[in-house]
Amino acid sequence: MADSKHTAGQTRRTILGGAALLGTAAGAGLLPGLGRYAQAQTSAPIKIGFQVHRTGIGAAYGRWYDRTTKAAAKLINDNGGINGRPVEIIAEDDGTDPKRGAEVIEKFATKHECDVAFGTLFSHVVIGSAPRAGELKLPYFVVSEGHHVASGMLNRYTLQPGITDVKSQVQSMAPWVADNLGKKVTMVYPDFAFGHDHRDYFSEAIERQGGNVIAKIAIPPRETSFFKYLPKIPKDTEVLYHVMVGPGVLTFVKELGEYFGDNRPEIFGFIDSLEAVDIASPGLEFLEGSHFWEGYPRYAGENQSEHDKFYRAAVGVDDNGASLSDSKDISTYAHMFGCWETLHILKAGMEAADYKGPKDRQALIEAIENMDVFPESQAHPQGSKLFNGRTHQAFGHQHISKVEGGKLVPVHKTSIFDTYYEDEVDYTKMSF
Amino acid sequence: MIRTIVLHAAVIAGLFLLEPVLSDYHHGNLARIMVLATYAVGYNMLFGYTGLLSLGHAMFFAAGMYGCAMLIRLAEWSVGPAFLAGVLCALVAGIIVGTLALRTIGVGFMIVTLMFAEAAYLVILYYNEFTRGDEGFTIPQAVRSIAGIDLSDTTNRYFAALLLFAIALIACAAIVQARTGRVLVAIRENEDRVRMLGFDPFRYKLFALVISATMAGAAGAAYAVLFGYAGATFASVQYSIFPLLWVLLGGPGTTLGPLLGTVLMFYLVDYASGTIMPGLAALVETQFGIEAPGLASAYLLLVGVTLVLLVLFAPKGLLGTVRARMIPWLP
Amino acid sequence: MDLIALLPFDLPHPALLAAGMLEGTVLAAVLALTALGLSIVFGIMRVVNVAHGEFYMLGAVLAWFVTHTVSGTVGGPPWLGFAIALIVAPLIVAAMAALTDWLVLKRLDYDPEATIVATIGVLYIIQQLALTFYGPDARPVEAPFDFRVQLPWFGYSGYKLVVVGAAIALMLVVWLVLTRTKIGLVMRATQYDRETAQAFGIPVDKVYAGVFALGAALAAIGAVLIVPIQQAHYLMGGDPLLLSFIVVILGGLGSLKGTLVAAIFIGLSDGIISTLYEPTLAKILATLLVAMVLVFRPQGLFGARAA
């Protein structure tokens, strides 16, 4: 069944190619039946396999990735789809698990016959899935913010054009932290690869600013109480840098508050700690006056752009970053825009490559590798970005916000060049 | 005896003959299922035949996976020797853990194996400099070949998985047909009586555990080589519970139960999460006008209900029930 | 010769040691609270209830619903919502447990292996229902009252100390019920010999349903008390389940005293070891220590012989 369809497709393309050489009119006249078939084929949807954390530890992110993706697909379809064809999102749960992630990729390629795969946040799922995407020659667009793509660990079929990676996020924070908060830093992070990325890249970056990390406290997984580690924070710490994930983060902040009382160092954190969490939650009062990295400011401030306004409304997020239908349902605003932007890049790439079907997957990847600038627009509401086709990674502005009155208020926006680093790989030299 | 041989040969031949017939989708699934079923066959040796419920088998799976994958990654070993080294790691881990954990019985054994596995999982995270922790690492496609055979090729992968599974299945069938196997079952039924008959139960249990760990390790090493990834998730407690579920579903103490259970659980999860539950959610939405995004992801509900129904109506697993009601000679 | 220099770790700073001891004590209390119900169910019914952690999670999630409704919708003070949760959550959870017993466990005649499988199924069902109706977020529950205790080196949560007190009180109540009341006598008789108890006219079925419900209710009470220092999350049941089992087995089957001593042992060893080594290494060592105690004392600290 699948085979016969394949052959028909190939024949059609060969014949149409020949027909184009002879002249379209003559071709259509000679082969009326095939002409009709081609017409029917071109209006078939472009299938995008969407790998999503619906269950498991990533479910809070997955729900918002899902909503953002649906909104972006609707917008693209309302504006005429891609190459005149509608987009169909085929979502499958990866269970936040690398084995299931790889299975889902296989399912997209062989069962759903998707044109491309896209989605997912947690790095271990991406790294577990990417080898299969490469072997199946299925373009795989990840929205993970991991450094795995640009580090060269993956393959030519895996790209991260819609979100910046942790290395560039972390290193671009160091100048501001050193100038405004202090130079002696203690880091608290989960004993996961994600935490180690923070540890390594921030340590390097702060040393370039003349500062240093005086203590590194790695928290074991699934820890539900953090207090016993807090006395390991040296007394002369000027800045406490925290990045935690998982359900225990509120406890962490509360215990920090109990530990330090009013006499605390400066605190700088990554919003990953509090994505999908209300900053005004009981217990988080202690964060008042502290600073956060934000990929994309959660609260619509005075300087809100028209693109942000449009994007917020389309996804269904209010000015405080919560769902329009439930003010207690907080979005993962600093990350989920990556789904929106990735789908728009996919559209641009498919249009540039004149994408017709799986045969054009290489052309699609080459088209995207050739892109270099994504200007701020409806398609890129977070802001303009540079794309490095060699490393398959996007670079963009990062934001620092201060907690004031239980809200996050942007205080600094980095330049894109603060986030740049030397290439570690050149995927364009790898074969397909 | 003859019909046992014929049955197993037929199953292996059947899997062989399916290769060219299967659609790409089922072909890929079955390759993975055979690797996981090898893990389940190993688990069944200990749980189904010997009556020891381990909650820590993920450490053996991970010992094989990391033993193999780290040698490829850090020491640039080729796949063949690295695979054997991975299997050896699992075997040694089995001897050490078995010697200690088999001092306990029943729930104590469950807890001790669980804690050793937890320690192993944390060790992988602690030495993240070499293991890349929870994130894990890929094994490049270019090095994943053995004797010139590209193991990332779909067909080769299928036959490699089949070879692995066939060896495990034949080994299992041979052991349980032999006197050793009968002693293991006797230990499961009544350990004191076995001791009175002059056998040393500890030696037999250790044997079962080491064989079980070795098979789990072979599956782990094969997963790394065939699917190109090693990560700490495979050492987590969830991956100790999976083979338990597969074996329970297929039938503990039957040679073919682990395969059947792995196949059924795979497709149950696959269809429930991809088709049944999203379909149900869409139905609720159109019929009652209620948006039910939670329902679309509720496939674990089906897994839970299946387990409860299974234990109520087929407590010996599917093949165990078949053996009890229809085919008493089923191995 | 400097003997201190030979130690395989640096001597911890007093502040670190104080924090380790305090946190160890709180962990012991948390463990005792979560393990108490399991200890009774396991001790009396010999049922390994794998869904115990999910009953605990349900207690926490219900506490969120109740406090959220009372403070959010009605505008009551935090302590009122908490007090109501402390009554309502255990009752609902107990009812669910009794239903599980009646629908499933009783039909299996409490066969040890079959109940493990069945309760794994129940685990998935409860977890998935929580994800569907409560969602994937971790949500905080405000403590009924909170005060900060200033120590020489740092401040500490007053509520955590209250949890320690509550754990002691609850264990005392359960111990009194088991040893000084008729209900306790009936339970112990059933534990000692099920057939004989039946012959003496004890309604074993009802006792079992009651014990199972009581175990779940205790898990829920523990969860309501603990949730203000953690958060309600649909995956939160996993660790308490494992830790409770470790505590119960280490303590020795059916020994309340053993459960208490094991909780203190695990809590303090975790707290103290964490001050000596890097956090993850400390976890590895603490885990292996407890495993080794079980290896060399398989019957547990206070048990005659483990099941």
| Residue A25 in this model has a pLDDT that exceeds 70 | no
Confidence (pLDDT) at C301: 83
On whether the CB atoms of residues A75 and A313 are closer than 8 A, the answer is no
Kindly give, in sequence order, each residue whose CB lies less than 8 Å from that of residue C173, ignoring residues fewer than 6 positions away.
none
Each residue of A274-303: pLDDT tens digit? Answer: 888 888 887 788 899 999 999 999 999 888
Chain B CB within 8 Å of residue C31 CB: no
Whether residue C173 lies inside any domain: the answer is: yes
CB neighbours (10 Å) of residue B80? 12
Minimal CA separation from B204 to chain A, in Å:
34
CB contact under 8 A, B141 and A135: yes
- Token pair of C48 as six digits: 């390994």
Sign of the CA dihedral running A94, A96, A102, A103 = negative
Chain A CB within 8 Å of residue B99 CB: no
Each residue of B88-117: pLDDT tens digit? Answer: 999 999 999 999 999 998 888 998 999 999
**Residue length, chain C?**
307
CB contact under 8 A, A59 and B293: no
Residue at A265: amino acid letter: P
Beta strand pairing status for A291-294 and A266-270? parallel
The band of A28, judged by pLDDT with boundaries at 50, 70 and 90, is very low
In the block, residue with structure tokens 């205080």: A411
| Residue A213 in this model has a pLDDT that exceeds 90 | yes
| Residue A239 in this model has a pLDDT that exceeds 80 | yes
The band of A209, judged by pLDDT with boundaries at 50, 70 and 90, is very high
CB contact under 8 A, C287 and B118: yes
CB contact under 8 A, C114 and B311: yes
| Residue C294 in this model has a pLDDT that exceeds 50 | yes
Distance of CA A296 to the CA centre of its chain: 11
| Residue B284 in this model has a pLDDT that exceeds 90 | no
Residue of A nearest to B137 (CA): A127
* Number of domains into which chain B is organized: 1
Whether residue C203 lies inside any domain: the answer is: yes
Distance of CA C291 to the CA centre of its chain: 19
Whether residue B272 lies inside any domain: the answer is: no
Confidence (pLDDT) at A26: 37
Q: What is the mean pLDDT of residues C122-150?
A: 88
Whether residue C23 lies inside any domain: the answer is: no
What is the CA angle B238-C96-C93, rounded to 5?
A: 85
Q: Taking CB atoms and an 8 Å cutoff, what residues of chain C touch A228?
A: 16, 19-20, 22-24, 271, 274-275
d(CA B159, CA A9): 30
Structural domain boundaries in chain A: 43-164+336-396, 166-294+398-419
CA distances from A140 to A95, A107, A430 (A): 18, 13, 16
Shortest CB distance from C235 goes to which of A57, A232, A283? Answer: A57
Confidence (pLDDT) at A30: 40
Confidence (pLDDT) at C1: 55
Instruction: Give me the residues of C, 222-241, that contact B with CB < 8 A.
Output: 238
Minimal CA separation from B6 to chain C, in Å:
32
Partners of B137 in beta bridges: B230
Percent of chain A at pLDDT exceeding 90: 73
On whether the CB atoms of residues A298 and A243 are closer than 8 A, the answer is no
Residue at A95: amino acid letter: G
| Residue B302 in this model has a pLDDT that exceeds 80 | yes
- Token pair of C38 as six digits: 């399991």
| Residue A212 in this model has a pLDDT that exceeds 90 | yes
Q: What is the mean pLDDT of residues A333-342?
A: 96
Strands (E), A290-398: 291-294, 373-374, 385-388, 393-396
Confidence (pLDDT) at C4: 66
Q: Taking CB atoms and an 8 Å cutoff, what residues of chain C touch B294?
A: 131-133, 135
Confidence (pLDDT) at A193: 86
Among A135, A138, A158, A325, the residue to mutate for chain B (most B Cβ within 10 A): A135
Shortest CB distance from B307 goes to which of C121, C135, C283? Answer: C121
On whether the CB atoms of residues A13 and A359 are closer than 8 A, the answer is yes
Q: What is the mean pLDDT of residues C234-242?
A: 87
The band of B246, judged by pLDDT with boundaries at 50, 70 and 90, is very high
Confidence (pLDDT) at C136: 84
Percent of chain A at pLDDT exceeding 70: 90
Question: For the residues of B234-250, what is the DSSP string, one character each?
Answer: GGSTHHHHHHHHHHHHH
Q: Taking CB atoms and an 8 Å cutoff, what residues of chain A touch B128?
A: 191, 193, 196
Confidence (pLDDT) at B293: 67
Confidence (pLDDT) at B32: 96
Shortest CB distance from C140 goes to which of A60, A228, A282? Answer: A282
Partners of A188 in beta bridges: A217, A242
Residue of B nearest to A111 (CA): B25
d(CA C104, CA C98): 10
| Residue A23 in this model has a pLDDT that exceeds 50 | no
Count of CA atoms in the C-beta half-sphere (13 A) of C79: 3
Distance of CA C60 to the CA centre of its chain: 12
Q: What is the 3-state secondary structure (H, E, C) of chain C?
A: CCCHHHCCCCCCCHHHHHHHHHHHHHHHHHHHHHHHHHHHHHHHHCCCCCCHHHHHHHHHHHHHHHHHHHHHHHCCCHHHHHHHHHHHHHHHHHHHHHHHHHHHHHHHCCCHHHHHHHHHHHHHHHHHHHHHHCCCCCECCCCCCCCEEECCCCEEEHHHHHHHHHHHHHHHHHHHHHHHCHHHHHHHHHHHCHHHHHHCCCCHHHHHHHHHHHHHHHHHHHHHHHHHHCCECCCCCHHHHHHHHHHHHHHCCCCHHHHHHHHHHHHHHHHHHHHHCCHHHHHHHHHHHHHHHHHHCCCCCCCCCCC
CB contact under 8 A, C108 and B245: no
Provide the whole-model pTM: 0.90
Each residue of A301-315: pLDDT tens digit? Answer: 888 999 999 999 999
Domain A166-294+398-419 has CATH 3.40.50.300: no
Count of CA atoms in the C-beta half-sphere (13 A) of A184: 9
- Token pair of A68 as six digits: 């953002």
| Residue B299 in this model has a pLDDT that exceeds 90 | no
Sign of the CA dihedral running A402, A408, A411, A414 = positive
- Token pair of B97 as six digits: 């853990």
Whether residue C267 lies inside any domain: the answer is: no
Shortest CB distance from C23 goes to which of A59, A228, A232? Answer: A228
Whether residue B265 lies inside any domain: the answer is: no
CB contact under 8 A, C249 and B111: yes
Share the mean pLDDT of chain A: 88
d(CA B231, CA B302): 28
Each residue of A113-165: pLDDT tens digit? Answer: 999 999 889 999 999 999 999 999 999 999 999 999 999 999 999 999 999 99
| Residue A15 in this model has a pLDDT that exceeds 90 | no
Shortest CB distance from C131 goes to which of A55, A227, A231? Answer: A55
Whether residue C293 lies inside any domain: the answer is: no
d(CA A53, CA A279): 23
Confidence (pLDDT) at A302: 84
The band of B301, judged by pLDDT with boundaries at 50, 70 and 90, is confident
The DSSP symbol for A112 reads S
Q: Among A175-179, A246-250, B309-313, which is the least confidently predicted range?
A: A246-250
Percent of chain B at pLDDT exceeding 70: 99
Share the mean pLDDT of chain B: 93
Whether residue B203 lies inside any domain: the answer is: yes
Q: Which helix (H) or strand (E) holds A241?
A: strand A239-242
- Token pair of A29 as six digits: 């006249």
Between B152 and C303, residue with greater pLDDT: B152
In the block, residue with structure tokens 């779909």: B154
Percent of chain B at pLDDT exceeding 90: 79
Residue at B292: amino acid letter: A
Of the ranges A324-328, B6-10, C240-244, which is most confident?
B6-10
d(CA B151, CA B145): 5
Q: What is the mean pLDDT of residues A188-195?
A: 90
Residue A207: Cβ-neighbour burial (10 angstroms; 0-12, 13-18, 19+): middle
Kindly give, in sequence order, each residue whose CB lies less than 8 Å from that of residue C180, ignoring residues fewer than 6 positions away.
none
Q: Whose CA is closest to B89, among B266, B213, B234?
A: B213
| Residue C191 in this model has a pLDDT that exceeds 90 | no
Whether residue B308 lies inside any domain: the answer is: no
Strands (E), B26-168: 137-138, 145-146, 149-150
d(CA B128, CA A192): 8
| Residue B164 in this model has a pLDDT that exceeds 90 | yes
Confidence (pLDDT) at A9: 39
Q: Which helix (H) or strand (E) holds B156?
A: helix B154-177
Q: What is the mean pLDDT of residues A412-430?
A: 94
Range of the domain at C234: 31-256
* Number of domains into which chain C is organized: 1
Kindly give, in sequence order, each residue whose CB lies less than 8 Å from that of residue C37, ignoring residues fewer than 6 positions away.
C52, C55, C214, C215, C216, C217, C218, C219, C222
Confidence (pLDDT) at B66: 98
Beta strand pairing status for A140-142 and A158-159? parallel
Each residue of C192-230: pLDDT tens digit? Answer: 888 888 888 888 888 999 999 999 999 999 999 999 988
Among A53, A55, A106, the residue to mutate for chain B (most B Cβ within 10 A): A106
Partners of C232 in beta bridges: C139
> What are phi and psi for residue A407, nearest 5 degrees?
-130, 160
| Residue C67 in this model has a pLDDT that exceeds 80 | yes
Fold of A43-164+336-396: Rossmann fold (3.40.50)
Whether residue B243 lies inside any domain: the answer is: no
Chain A CB within 8 Å of residue C174 CB: no
d(CA B54, CA B324): 25
Count of CA atoms in the C-beta half-sphere (13 A) of C289: 16
CA distances from B64 to B58, B87, B110, B136, C65 (A): 10, 5, 21, 15, 45
